[in-house]
Amino acid sequence: MEPKTPWAVLAALALSSFAAVAKDSPNILVIIADDCTFSDLPVNGGENAKTPNIDRLASEGLVFDRAYLGMSMCAPCRSELYTGRLAHRNGCAWNHGTSRTGTLSIVQHLGKLGYRVGLAGKSHVKPKSVYPFENVPGFDGNCVRSPTQPHSLDGARSFIRKSDDPFCLVVALTEPHVPWVMGDATAYPPKKLKLPPYLADTPVTRKDFSNYLAEITYMDSQVGELLDLLKTEKHAEDTLVLFTSEQGSQFPGNKWTNWDSGLHTTVIVRWPGVTETGKRTPAVIQYADVLPTFIEAAGGQPEPEMFDGKSFAKVLRGETDTHRDFAYGMHNNFPEGPSYPIRSVTDGEWRYIRNLMPDRLYIEKHLMGRTEHNAYWQTWVFNSFQNEDTLRLVERYMQRPAEQLYHTAEDRFEMTNLADDPAHAEVKQRLIAALEKKMAEQGDPGKELDTPESYRAAADGKPRFDSKP
């Protein structure tokens, strides 16, 4: 009979194995912009903004041309990013929503692998039991900032230096979220700007677009400071950096929609020694895939049943240029306005959108009601009496058909709806089948989710509809 191995020896072996994994695990830095439309960045073909630091990061890493988030709202998309679960499954399916008690986030998952996980800047996720980030001071909080009180790198520097454990630091910037008050707008003369076709060309729109672009450049300067911080702290070579632009801006047609300009996001990953430099990939990914990827990068094994996403580490290593077949989107309009539920799916080339209450007008209280942030909207409505192009844009935003189909690869800003074109019926049916399958898997009831009753029940921790366990 072989002698039993003493418990102390087993414990020592386990600890040494854990230490070896931790030692080889990369540090992780996540930089999140706030309400920055994918297509406004030069790395994605933007023609106005100046972003030298994001461009530098792209030249040093891997750019995902087809990255998406599940809801174009701050709290839901960040909950997806941090939990690896889509909005209905993690519970945060409304803006300012709350994730289900017991849901695990990046803090617990990476914490088990020996990481310290900190958050600087904007939080916008709750409850604390699901998101117990270590607080890292120095960056502006939820949508609050002041040009006279600049941010500080001291908190991030202290967090990085705190111990020998690998770290995961999320820096959630507040730019370019409204109000657009940061940066130098004189660098963007309004009359010289090229507006995207979904924006009505009024003087007020141009002025606000100039202020928005100035905030993008200010945001970019913070990206540069954080990258330089890694270098000065001698962590540039052992840190995986992921930058994302989050959802679209608050201009009509971006945030709070399921158009590509709302759900498409920038993702750039620099992982020295792993990702090739200056490369792009057509692999379709979405926010739910990020956490499983981090777990694999950290030496763990993401459990498929825990997530709606899956690791794209093979894409980072250059082993493949494909990942998922489809990325999914949803929108529940309450409490941002009257109920207006939307569901969508994309394969990276085509997008199908289903508006579940198309007989209603779409109304968004922040965009249409807060003139201190969105003075341009009133000029659109006023100008629509005199300008047919502006009228069509107002109608596009407020009156939507039951179905929309866009060949996004050719119609970048999704201005031509092909849903009723028989030439694309096969594509449409393929996307419909994928969308309906995902809704069934998620336990998504559709329009019944976008009600005051569902919102309040979820906020009270008693959701009306079960999700996938």
Overall average pLDDT of the 335-352 stretch: 97
Identify whether residues 298 and 348 lie together within a single domain.
no
468 within some domain? no
Specify the DSSP element, H or E, that contains 366.
Answer: helix 365-369
Identify whether residues 384 and 303 lie together within a single domain.
no
How many structural domains compose the chain? Answer: 2
Overall average pLDDT of the 193-203 stretch: 98
Asked if 239 and 29 count as a contact pair (C-beta separation under 8 A), the reply is: yes
Asked if 133 and 122 count as a contact pair (C-beta separation under 8 A), the reply is: no
Identify whether residues 209 and 274 lie together within a single domain.
yes
Percent of the chain with pLDDT over 70: 94
Indicate if the pLDDT at residue 20 is higher than 90.
Answer: no
Indicate if the pLDDT at residue 468 is higher than 60.
Answer: yes
Angle at the Cα of 365 from the Cα atoms of 400 and 82, rounded to 5 degrees: 90
Indicate if the pLDDT at residue 14 is higher than 70.
Answer: no
Indicate if the pLDDT at residue 347 is higher than 60.
Answer: yes
Identify whether residues 372 and 436 lie together within a single domain.
yes
Q: Tell me, what DSSP letter sits at residue 100?
A: P
Identify whether residues 390 and 416 lie together within a single domain.
yes
15 within some domain? no
Domain C-terminal end among 306, 325, 344: 325
More confident residue, 7 or 378: 378
- pLDDT attached to residue 286: 98
Indicate if the pLDDT at residue 17 is higher than 50.
Answer: no
372 within some domain? yes
What is the rounded CA–CA span in Å between residue 322 and residue 30?
A: 23
Domain C-terminal end among 325, 352, 385: 325
465 within some domain? no
Identify whether residues 110 and 230 lie together within a single domain.
yes
Pairing type for strands 27-32 and 264-270 reads: unpaired
Per-residue pLDDT band for 369 (boundaries 50, 70, 90) equals: confident
Overall average pLDDT of the 153-160 stretch: 97
- pLDDT attached to residue 5: 41
Global confidence as pTM: 0.94
Q: Using CA atoms in the order 285, 288, 289, 294, what is the torsion angle rounded to 10 degrees?
A: 140
Three-class SS state of 141: coil
Identify whether residues 35 and 74 lie together within a single domain.
yes
Pairing type for strands 342-346 and 351-355 reads: antiparallel
What is the rounded CA–CA span in Å between residue 344 and residue 331?
A: 9
Q: How many H helices and E strands in the chain?
A: 15, 12
Identify whether residues 347 and 295 lie together within a single domain.
no
CATH number where 60 lies: 3.40.720.10
466 within some domain? no
User: Across all residues in the chain, what is the average pLDDT?
Assistant: 93
1 within some domain? no
378 within some domain? yes
Cis peptide before 6 (omega within 30 of 0): no
- pLDDT attached to residue 143: 63
17 within some domain? no
Per-residue pLDDT band for 144 (boundaries 50, 70, 90) equals: low
Identify whether residues 310 and 336 lie together within a single domain.
no
> pLDDT digits over 209-245, tens only?
999 999 999 999 999 999 999 999 999 999 999 999 9
- pLDDT attached to residue 7: 38
Identify whether residues 377 and 424 lie together within a single domain.
yes
Identify whether residues 238 and 267 lie together within a single domain.
yes
Three-class SS state of 241: strand
Structural domain that includes position 262: 24-325
Indicate if the pLDDT at residue 130 is higher than 90.
Answer: yes
Identify whether residues 122 and 268 lie together within a single domain.
yes
Domain C-terminal end among 308, 325, 342: 325
Per-residue pLDDT band for 40 (boundaries 50, 70, 90) equals: very high
> pLDDT digits over 278-321, tens only?
999 999 999 999 999 999 999 999 999 999 999 999 999 999 99
